[in-house]
Amino acid sequence: MASAIVFKSDRFGGVLVDMAEQTCTNLDDFFRHIKEAIVEWKNADKRGLWITVQTEQSSLIPKLTDLGFDFHHAKPGLVCLTKWLPENIPNHIPGYANHFLGVGGFVVNTLGQLLVIREQYHVKNNIATWKLPGGLADAGEEISETAIREVLEETGVETEFVCVIGYRHMHNYRHGCSDFYHVCLLKPLTTEIRPCPLEIAECKWMDLEEYEAADSIADVNKYIVRKYRDIISTGNFIGVDKVLSFDKKLLQNVYSVHAGSKLA
């Protein structure tokens, strides 16, 4: 019965079950209860059923798949399985996250020089290109925070966020996922370079003209340089504002064009 199962309901009519929260320690009893609960939840017009299983309980997975559960996503320490309950409605359970979010820092000093790096694998594989410092956003991290953190970690240069210059969207990336790559304009607060020895082979300030003219620079990076020049000449840029969320419980970052504004 459902009362023997510890669960939560979501706002979409779904049921969330976490195996770590269950008080029933006898597995035979638990699976008897979950079978009864599935019938009750169906009769109550519940929709998606989600069960989170920790690594130490992974032996339960075959029994859950026998009940019609299928894998939804996994990450270190757990796997989540789902089951769609309505028989007369198509399965509307959303797929798991399918994008990576990378962020690059476009750091220009007062001499008009761009902060660029060559990673260790560039040197080992004899790749001549210079790229922008950056990396993947951590969970819960704002785009601006990622740019500032990655630039500091890779180059030792402290910066502050100015605006977003643009972003690239591509598909069939790592593990078949799509990829966003945002480039943020950052203002350097320090100029001394202290590259990370584990990741970075070389790091330097390079004249923008030299960078833009180099054959080895990726076309998308040359495009970003042109957009940076447009920002400087027009005053139009992608800025960020704090706007209340739909439930008015928190402020969220909204990025939009700021026309003819003065950069901070």
Q: Which of helix, strand or coil describes residue 110? A: coil
The tokens for 182 are 């945002």
What integer pLDDT is reported at residue 98 of this predicted model?
85
What integer pLDDT is reported at residue 174 of this predicted model?
79
User: What percentage of the chain has pLDDT greater than the value 70?
Assistant: 95
pLDDT at 69 over 90: yes
What integer pLDDT is reported at residue 25 of this predicted model?
80
Q: Per residue in 182-230, pLDDT tens?
A: 999 999 999 999 999 988 999 999 999 999 999 889 899 999 999 999 9
* Cα–Cα separations (whole angstroms), residue 1 to 12, 33, 38, 139, 203: 22, 5, 8, 36, 63
Q: Which of helix, strand or coil describes residue 87? A: coil
What integer pLDDT is reported at residue 171 of this predicted model?
92
More confident residue, 263 or 8: 8
Asked if the domains at 2-84 and 99-258 fall in one CATH topology, the answer is: no
Identify the burial level of 136 via C-beta atoms within 10 angstroms of its C-beta, where 0-12 means exposed, 13-18 middle and 19 or more buried: middle
Q: In CATH, what is the architecture of 99-258?
A: Alpha-Beta Complex (3.90)
Q: Per residue in 99-131, pLDDT tens?
A: 889 999 999 999 999 999 998 876 666 766 899
The tokens for 169 are 């969207």
Domain 2-84: give its CATH code: 3.40.630.30
Q: Quick one: pLDDT band at residue 173, thresholds 50, 70, 90?
A: confident
What integer pLDDT is reported at residue 11 of this predicted model?
86
Is residue 162 within 8 Å of 264, Cβ to Cβ? yes
Burial of 13-22, coded b for 16+ CB within 10 Å and e otherwise, reads: ebbbbbbeeb
Short-list 138, 140, 137, 158, CA closest to 148: 158
Q: Which of helix, strand or coil describes residue 97? A: coil
* β-strand partners of 75: 78
What are the boundaries of each domain within the chain? Answer: 2-84, 99-258
Distance from C-alpha of 15 to C-alpha of 134, rounded to nearest angstrom = 39
Burial of 162-182, coded b for 16+ CB within 10 Å and e otherwise, reads: bbbbbbbeeeeeeeeeebbbb
